[in-house]
Structure 1
């Protein structure tokens, strides 16, 4: 996919998303990439969102700076969605791994979804809290797609049944089942260099992180340096369940 736009685009937000809002208006699921516009001379930013069962009030967003200009050339943006995990990739590098937990209940996306590509005016929030607005003199805004690949099962919205699943064994494209050890190193490197926001560490929105969050102390410290107001609030008070999650996250990173 290539964003074929002038770098003065400003605050138009482009989204590549899976959603079912047309079928489930009040409890829709959504998994998406969002490009949050650009200011000349600054890094492009991309955001990943996960909503399940209409849980938009929780907001499971993460935000990153890109190491390239997405309007210069085509790049590969991929989402692996299974019944137990969601993984986002850029150019084959996993950038986010989201695992389903029992505590999430119906908040994990589980209903059939369609794939959309959208462009909309995000001037009110997408860049510096609405400080910079869209400059419409650079319209039209165009996105081009190449080498589009979709694996899954078709769903009949009337009969409420799935059928015609593609046979991935015969596909020329290898479908990953998770993050390999070598990929995990690349993912950790990406997050260390480029992640600028994660809802799990947002102490303004959440006095206690949502149950599915596994706190990585190194990520927490890096984000605190990046934005001490959002990520460096007062001391958190955790119950035992959150304390165990935090401890398990620490051990995983010590290995």
Structure 2
């Protein structure tokens, strides 16, 4: 009996292994690899997004697969996902404005501030412009349950010029962790923990892309403002990916089928990816909220402090020592003080 069933059982096992284990779904579940990210389908603007503001400052190119948003003296521009999502993978390739861009802010982020104004969650990529000859800077942030008083900012310098070509910025968000990527390299991981309590983002969010005037804080604490002689400032987005669990905006019930939901239920990072992330953070991180003793005499509960690194490489304001990377702190409306200023000059 066993010998009779063995061939069919073996065939079934092999078929299951090939279809499930070798499929992009399983790879995503186990490891958000660069190969998988390449395989996820992109959306046209009409398939996944709607314009927020800006009128003619938002232009669609390439059959709606490419979006150009600009800032001029009249207005900036922005667009948002048509749906709310609870967990998923969200990505865009972005090219930033060139030349003089002081005061200009380009953002790619998730938020539910319009639905939960007092208890909102947020996951941010924010790009801060600079004067001619100075690099753009990028920062990430994680807000949960309206915890804007505890901003979890990190700031980085880039190893490339983001104005010369498109580079991919991605957010992977599930029940257990949030991972930020630049060009498929993980740069930050936030793991759900008892220490974070309700500050881990846990409510459905929309995806946003905007360009706007941040003259009051974005470059050297407002010292250098947007100069509209260089307008329009143009940011371009392409390779738009939304691969998430959409929810009903009325009752927040999920429309995700079970296999899709499982994708976002867990994820792991390969040893190679973790080494990439550690290397990136050692070389390119210029501000770390956990090391900001001025702001947090008692660090947020989830922070695991490296006292040697803190003393050797970071000042009391959480900013890394070293040349033009020395920056002061600031804030944006309800945001923490770090987002306001960047004394990079």
Report the Cα offset of residue 222 of structure 1: 5.1
Describe the SS at the equivalent of 2:132: coil
Q: Which residue of 2 aligns with 1:201?
A: 291
Q: Structure 1: 5+ residue runs without aligned partners?
A: 233-255
Q: Which residue of 2 aligns with 1:163?
A: 255
Contact kept in structure 2, 1:197 and 1:223, CA below 8 Å: no
Q: For each residue in 1:127-160, what CA deviation from the matched residue of structure 2 results, as whole angstroms up to 9, or x when unmatched?
A: 2222211111222222222221111111111132
Q: Which residue of 2 aligns with 1:215?
A: 305
> Hey, what's the Cα distance between the residues in 1 that align with 2:102 and 2:235?
15
Report the Cα offset of residue 165 of structure 1: 4.4
Report the Cα offset of residue 78 of structure 1: 0.7
Query: Residues 61-140 of structure 1: matches in 2 within 5 Å?
Result: 61-140=153-232
Q: Which residue of 2 aligns with 1:230?
A: 317
Give the TM-score, by structure 1 length.
0.81
Contact kept in structure 1, 2:104 and 2:213, CA below 8 Å: yes
Q: Structure 2: 5+ residue runs without aligned partners?
A: 1-92, 320-345
> Root-mean-square deviation (CA), in Å?
2.2
> Hey, what's the Cα distance between the residues in 2 that align with 1:20 and 1:162?
16
**Following TM superposition, where does structure 1 have runs of at least 4 consecutive aligned residues deviating by more than 4 angstroms?**
165-169
Query: When you count strand as a share of all residues, which structure comes out higher?
Result: 2
Report the Cα offset of residue 206 of structure 1: 0.4
Total equivalences in the alignment:
225
Closer, same or farther: CA 218–92 of 1 in aligned 2, 3 Å: farther
Describe the SS at the equivalent of 2:242: coil
Contact kept in structure 2, 1:43 and 1:67, CA below 8 Å: no
Contact kept in structure 1, 2:204 and 2:252, CA below 8 Å: no
Contact kept in structure 2, 1:154 and 1:165, CA below 8 Å: no
Closer, same or farther: CA 176–9 of 1 in aligned 2, 3 Å: farther
> Hey, what's the Cα distance between the residues in 1 that align with 2:132 and 2:260?
42
